[in-house]
Structure 1
Amino acid sequence: MAEKKQILILGGGYAGVAAGKKLHKIFKNDDSVEITLIDKKPYHTLMTELHEVAGHRTEPDAIQIDLRTIFAGRKVKVVTDSITNVDLEGKKLVSDKKTYKFDYLVLACGSDSNSFGIEGVDEHAFTLWSYEDAVKLRAHVEKMFQLAAIEEDEAVRKQLLTFAVVGGGFTGVEMVGELGEAKDHLAVKYGVDKKEVTIYNIEATPRILNTLKDEKQIAKVENRYKKLGIELLKNAALVKATEDGFELKDGRFIKTKTLVWGAGIKVSNFIGKLGLEAGRGGRVLVNKYMQTLKYENVFMAGDNTHYEDKDGFLPQIVEAAEQSGHTAAVNIGALINKTEMHEHKQNYHGFMVSIGSKYAVSDNNGLKFNGFFAVMVKHMVNFYYLFLVSGLAQLSEYVMNEFFRIKNRRSVFGGHFAKASPNFWMLPLRMFLGVMWLIEGINKIDEGWLVEAKMYASDAVTQASEWVEEGTTAVKPLIETVPGVVQWGIDNIIAPHAVLFQTGMVFMEIIFGLMLIGGLFTFIAGIMTTIMTVGITLTGMSDASILWFFFAGIAVIGGSGSAFGMDYYVLPWLKKWWKKTPLARKSYLYFH
């Protein structure tokens, strides 16, 4: 039996995940190939959202996706290990625990922060290039407010409440925007006067956000800075950092305990030691197939890749990382299957940068938005990426983190979706709604709905008026004209099988009533009773009193069964069981 081809992917970032997904699609039915993804961390980090965690907008776990979850049920084995040596000639990766042999290798290790050799930056500045960086910075920022709250020396307090972010690119602008918002609630939390807080964005060149070409959009970003109380220092090169602050080229020394370095990235230190032919910035030279020039079985993907074509130099952005990972995977497949190789094509859909939670600017191939619409464009891009990576499960988690679990009103919709009351306040309404549906069903049985046709081909509104007589006065139906398509359905589908439909309706009212009373699957019961109310209304079978069923049904949808209901016991068990099934793991059809 022939040995299986071994494909290794080193790195679980955007490029590595894209490569793994594509390789699975190519070889999912090929037992002669094994695919392994190795990363020193067990999770994929959403690098574009690091600033949200560092700036106290979302919780740390909001930017992590378990790699095993991403590749569950797929032909990609995930290994958590730290590689210490790469032997490209011998085709093996070595860690302290194990040696991994390969026939084909994708190097997708990601880049490192670049201090450009400026004195003191590596020792005294915070970076924002990993999950650990974001969590560390988050804790430090809050600590500064804590210390300032009890500091009586005005000069020391000013230093504690001075925050500086170096770099006018995406990382620097987004980070400083988060600090501009975070200062408000942190000042309230620790009893600090927010007027004492100073926030700088420091850029060495005359312009921030050089990727954006529209000067009007740059002006809007700078205007947003002013609203958030951020001071922008342009043409302000940082020349030295110390424990107590930093010095600018013009001689100014700004005292601070919080210097965030977001001014650049460089080739991964790990990749730089492999001896591969390097180009601009030390990035590894590749051909149009993403192959390294020396080894045709070794491919590059992501930030460490030096590639240039008629469309320019491969940028160090998420889309470029994903596309290069896709190209590497396709061409490994081509080599193994002996098919034509795929030339890399650069195709980027634009750029977006947020300045806090409520404002952004975007340029998507000439389609430009500012403010609310730009924020929504950014969210939609994230929706798309997360759905591709791990489907409905991660998409729902993102929505919850960005809109429903948000604190201090820091979402594009403020805190409107995040306002919540304990589910036990819904208990009386849920019980009452359930009892009323149960009574409706039982009454219909007494009226002979299981044995005698009550729905017949006629004018539905006239018929309904006869059903809702009270004494000698008929109650006016909610709608006076049944929609044509509904009347057609009554005449041609329901009326010929009236008793069957009536029986179904009666049992649904009883079953959903009991589900609501017992608090079992109240999400389903609430939705279905709302739909039933709409259906009954459209047939002209009810008066205006049915409207309360509709609104009560909506109210109980959101987890009301978790308070003194069976959902409290059943749903956790069901979720746990469902997530273990092969279908759920492969399709991501579950909620966290």
Structure 2
Amino acid sequence: MSEKKKIIILGGGYAGVKAGKTLHKAFKDNPDVEITLIDKNTYHTLMTELHEVAGHRTSPDSIRIDLRTIFKGRSVKVVTDTITKVDFETKQIASEKKTYDFDYLLLACGSDTNSFGIPGIEEHAFTLWSYDDAITIRQHVESMFQAAAIEEDADIRKKLLTFAVVGGGFTGVEMAGELGEAKEHLSEKYGIDKSEVKIYNIEATPRILNTLKDDRQVEKVESRYRKIGVELLKNAALVKATEDGFELKDGRFIETKTLIWGAGIKVSNFIAKLGLEAGRGGRAVVNEFMQSPQYDNVFIAGDNTHYEDNDGLLPQIVEAAEQSGHTAAENIIASINGAPMKSHKQVYHGFMVSVGSRYCVSDNNGLKLSGFFSMLVKHMVNFYYLFTVSGLAQLWEYLRHEFFHTKNNRSIVGGHFSKASPNFWMVPFRVYLGFMWLFEGLHKIDEGWLTSAKMIASDAVTQASEWTGGAAEGAAEGAAAVQPLLKEVPGIVQWMIDKIIAPNAIPFQTIMVFAEIAFGLMLIAGLFTFISAVVTTGMTVAITLTGMSDASILWYFFGGIAIIAGAGSTFGLDYYLLPPLKRWWKQTAFAQKSYLYFH
């Protein structure tokens, strides 16, 4: 038996996760390949959403995905450890507590912030480059409002309520935009006049957002700044930071207790110490296969990579990290399988920058958008990414954090989706709806639906009469008594009635009758209410399309929609049954591999 090939991915960021997914797909049925992903954290951080947590828009949980959840049921072992040493010659990496052997090593360690040697930045500025950074800024910003609320000295109060974000790139602009919105609810919460709050975005060059080539889009961002109260200082190089503020090149000194540094990144300090050939910004040089030119079993991906081709230098963006991680993984696969390696191709689909929760500008392959539709595209891109990483489970989490559980109306649709009322108000309606479905089923039994064909009429009026029980005096009287919701049955539905349902009327009727009784009882008891509400809502649609109902059926439809979300968790069996059932389901191999569960 051949010895196992050991692959280690160092880093659980965008590049590392993508590489792990690619390697799993190739080797999931190969016991001779061992894949290990090592990260100092237990979670994958959504770096592009850090500003949302730092700016009090979403909860801290919204930017974390557990790495073990991502790779559950997959052939990637996740290890939480802090690696301090790499020995390329002996093919080992080590932490303070353990040594790991590898045959192939993929370095995806990301980047660190770059202070450019400006005095005081490392000591006195906050950075926004990790989950912990976002939490620290979030807590600090609110603490400034808390302190200002009880501060009587005007000068100190002004310093507390001055916030400065340095950097006119994506990180700086998005962070400034979040603060522009956050000041609204924080001022109200702590009884502060929002006109006292001063927010700066500081850029050393004459233009922000150099990635966006269209000046008109940059102008739209600046216009949005003015609307939400962010002051943009261009050509304003910061030369020194102190405990009490910062100094600009033109001599101005701005007093503040909050300086957020988002002006640049560099290769991670860990990678910089490994002795690898370095390119621009200290990033590790790779060839077209994302392979180190010094070690053919070492591959590098993501922000810590220096790769340049005819399309330019590999940018330090999410899409580039994912693509380079995929290329590196594919070439590890090729090396193990003895196949030709594939050259990396840079193909990017555009750039997006949000300014708060409701405004965004984007350039997606020449499609330039701004405002609501651009923000919608940004959410759709996030939907796609999260679905590929952790399926429906993570997509649901994103919807909860970005739409259903947002506070202070800070989502693309304001607070409309996050307004909620206690479920106990829906209990009487749930029980009543259940009794109505139960009554319909029992009434059909009394009418003989289990013994004689009723679903045979091609005339919509007659079918509506059968549904409402008004055909006692014949089709003519039924037509006078009942006005069907649909005047004409859709052709495909009529064909199904004539060719499938009518020849098998009694079996179909029996299923329909017992479904109405069963789901009626389930609604009354609050058992699997979500399923019952969805199915009965679907039943009303099906019944309507067959022409067997009048307008009175509409309330069944809208009633079903009203109780879909959690109406059985109050005074219902769902309260007792669903929690243990969810715990059991999440532990099944199928749920873990398919991500088909909700938290």
- TM-score range for the pair, normalised by the shorter chain length: over 0.9
Partner of 1:482: 489
Residue type of the alignment partner of 1:194: K
Partner of 2:33: 33
1:397 is paired with a residue whose SS is helix
1:566 correspondence with 2:596: no
1:92 correspondence with 2:92: yes
Partner of 1:502: 509
Deviations 1:251-279 (A, max 9, x none): 00000000000000011111111111111
1:589 correspondence with 2:596: yes
Shift, 1:532, TM fit = 1.3
- Aligned partners of 1:165, 1:190: CA distance in 2, in Å? 22
2:302 is paired with a residue whose SS is coil
Matches within 5 A, 1:409-558: 409-465=409-465, 467-469=469-471, 474-558=481-565
Residue type of the alignment partner of 1:419: K
Partner of 1:134: 134
Partner of 1:230: 230
Structure 1's consecutive aligned runs of 4 or more residues displaced over 4 angstroms after TM superposition are: 469-473
- Aligned partners of 1:203, 1:87: CA distance in 2, in Å? 41
- Aligned partners of 1:563, 1:182: CA distance in 2, in Å? 35
Matches within 5 A, 1:18-29: 18-29=18-29
Shift, 1:143, TM fit = 0.3
Shift, 1:287, TM fit = 0.8
Matches within 5 A, 1:231-310: 231-310=231-310
Residue type of the alignment partner of 1:565: G
- Aligned partners of 2:566, 2:594: CA distance in 1, in Å? 24
Residue type of the alignment partner of 2:100: Y
Partner of 2:73: 73
Deviations 1:132-175 (A, max 9, x none): 00000000000000000001111111100000000000000000
Q: 1:354 touches 1:361 (CA, 8 Å); kept in 2? A: yes
Q: 2:464 touches 2:482 (CA, 8 Å); kept in 1? A: no
1:576 is paired with a residue whose SS is helix
1:326 correspondence with 2:326: yes
- Across the aligned residues of Structure 1 and Structure 2, the Cα RMSD in angstroms comes to 1.2
- Distance change >3 Å, CA 385–CA 463, structure 1 → 2: closer
For structure 2, the residue ranges without an aligned partner over 5 or more in a row are none
- Aligned partners of 1:267, 1:261: CA distance in 2, in Å? 16
- Aligned partners of 1:41, 1:421: CA distance in 2, in Å? 37
- Aligned partners of 2:145, 2:556: CA distance in 1, in Å? 50
Deviations 1:410-462 (A, max 9, x none): 00100000011111111011000000111111111111111111222442323
Shift, 1:465, TM fit = 3.1
- Aligned partners of 1:569, 1:586: CA distance in 2, in Å? 27
- Aligned partners of 1:339, 1:379: CA distance in 2, in Å? 38
- Aligned partners of 2:259, 2:105: CA distance in 1, in Å? 38
Shift, 1:468, TM fit = 2.0
Residue type of the alignment partner of 2:59: E
Q: 1:283 touches 1:305 (CA, 8 Å); kept in 2? A: yes
Q: Scaled by the length of structure 1, what TM-score is found? A: 0.98
- Aligned partners of 1:274, 1:454: CA distance in 2, in Å? 80
- Aligned partners of 1:539, 1:299: CA distance in 2, in Å? 61
Partner of 1:578: 585
- Aligned partners of 1:458, 1:272: CA distance in 2, in Å? 78
Q: 2:460 touches 2:484 (CA, 8 Å); kept in 1? A: no
Shift, 1:533, TM fit = 1.4
Partner of 1:4: 4
Partner of 1:406: 406
Deviations 1:322-359 (A, max 9, x none): 11111111111111111000111111111000000000
Identity %: 74
- Aligned partners of 2:232, 2:206: CA distance in 1, in Å? 11
Deviations 1:88-140 (A, max 9, x none): 11110111111001111001111100000100000000000000000000000
Shift, 1:280, TM fit = 1.1
Q: 1:460 touches 1:487 (CA, 8 Å); kept in 2? A: no
Moved more, 445-454 or 161-170: 445-454
Shift, 1:587, TM fit = 1.1
Matches within 5 A, 1:145-224: 145-224=145-224
1:560 is paired with a residue whose SS is coil
Residue type of the alignment partner of 2:145: F
Deviations 1:220-279 (A, max 9, x none): 000000000000000000000000000000000000000000000011111111111111
Residue type of the alignment partner of 1:327: T
Matches within 5 A, 1:306-317: 306-317=306-317
How many residue pairs match? The answer is: 592
2:174 is paired with a residue whose SS is helix
Partner of 1:383: 383
- Aligned partners of 2:527, 2:269: CA distance in 1, in Å? 55
2:568 is paired with a residue whose SS is helix
2:549 is paired with a residue whose SS is coil
Q: 1:221 touches 1:361 (CA, 8 Å); kept in 2? A: yes
1:562 is paired with a residue whose SS is coil
- Aligned partners of 2:492, 2:348: CA distance in 1, in Å? 46
- Aligned partners of 2:285, 2:490: CA distance in 1, in Å? 67
Residue type of the alignment partner of 1:497: N
2:543 is paired with a residue whose SS is helix
- Distance change >3 Å, CA 23–CA 494, structure 1 → 2: same
- Aligned partners of 2:550, 2:317: CA distance in 1, in Å? 59
Q: 2:461 touches 2:482 (CA, 8 Å); kept in 1? A: no
1:395 is paired with a residue whose SS is helix
Shift, 1:470, TM fit = 8.4
Partner of 1:105: 105
2:294 is paired with a residue whose SS is coil
- Aligned partners of 2:101, 2:373: CA distance in 1, in Å? 49
- Aligned partners of 1:95, 1:290: CA distance in 2, in Å? 25
- Aligned partners of 1:379, 1:399: CA distance in 2, in Å? 10
Shift, 1:399, TM fit = 1.1
Shift, 1:483, TM fit = 2.3
- Aligned partners of 2:458, 2:358: CA distance in 1, in Å? 55
- Aligned partners of 2:401, 2:319: CA distance in 1, in Å? 23
Q: 2:35 touches 2:75 (CA, 8 Å); kept in 1? A: yes
Shift, 1:527, TM fit = 1.2
Partner of 2:47: 47
Shift, 1:488, TM fit = 2.1
Matches within 5 A, 1:326-405: 326-405=326-405
- Aligned partners of 1:258, 1:396: CA distance in 2, in Å? 34
Q: 2:291 touches 2:298 (CA, 8 Å); kept in 1? A: yes
Q: 1:461 touches 1:482 (CA, 8 Å); kept in 2? A: no
Shift, 1:546, TM fit = 1.7
Q: Scaled by the length of structure 2, what TM-score is found? A: 0.97
- Aligned partners of 2:488, 2:28: CA distance in 1, in Å? 56
Shift, 1:463, TM fit = 4.3
Q: 2:460 touches 2:486 (CA, 8 Å); kept in 1? A: no
Q: 2:463 touches 2:549 (CA, 8 Å); kept in 1? A: no
- Aligned partners of 1:413, 1:27: CA distance in 2, in Å? 43
Moved more, 324-333 or 48-57: 324-333
Q: 1:468 touches 1:542 (CA, 8 Å); kept in 2? A: no
